[in-house]
Amino acid sequence: MIMKRLLLLLCCCGAFLRGAELAGAHSVYLLPMARGLDQYLANRLTNDHVLQVVTNAKLADAVFTDRIGEAFETQMEDLFPPPAAEKSPPPPPKKDGKKEEQPKASGPITDTVNKQSDPSLNSAFGRGKGTVFLVDVKSRQVIWSAYDPPKSLTLTDLDRSASDIVAKLKKDLNPKDLNPKK
């Protein structure tokens, strides 16, 4: 009996913590999604007054995306670079009057690194079909997700899917609205 109560208590604590994280998101930035779903989500989020959609990622509390993983982490590093580490002071000059030799930079012939961006970061090929994630900018944790694949690629079905996703988010943001007082 005690184990059941402990398990119930732990589950409730987890639900309250998740709700607190989700409630902390007020402004959201939408990364490009497959089939332009991000545009439909932005429209529904704004019209339903669920979250404020921002066009500057630095102003966002959370990010909407339709994929997570290495490519997403790279995009997050580009949008929200970690604070630069303190630069160490330059080494003092040598006392014998000679300048310290600097290592030579590699030339264009010896430089074999591909300088172009990774095409997989912008590809929609490996993206999930119908799952969206709301990721906290600071903790980089998924604070909410939903699976609602559009029935087809028509504009109406994409809008319906965005509407359903926003309705689920709105319900999870306001759980007390589920049980209206009589």
The domain segmentation of the chain, as residue ranges, is 26-80+124-174
- Helix boundaries (H) for the chain: 2-23, 37-47, 70-79, 155-173
Residue 16 confidence (pLDDT) above 90: no
pLDDT of amino acid 17 = 39
The residue-averaged pLDDT of 165-174 equals: 95
pLDDT of amino acid 86 = 54
pTM: 0.66
pLDDT of amino acid 147 = 96
Q: What is the side-by-side strand order in the sheet with 62-65?
A: 52-53, 27-30, 62-65, 131-136, 142-147
Q: To the nearest whole percent, how much of the chain has pLDDT over 70?
A: 61
The alpha carbon of 106 is separated from its chain's Cα centroid by a whole number of angstroms, namely 36
Cα distances (angstroms) measured from residue 61 to each of 6, 54, 157, 179: 33, 10, 28, 28
| CATH number of the structural domain 26-80+124-174 | 3.30.160
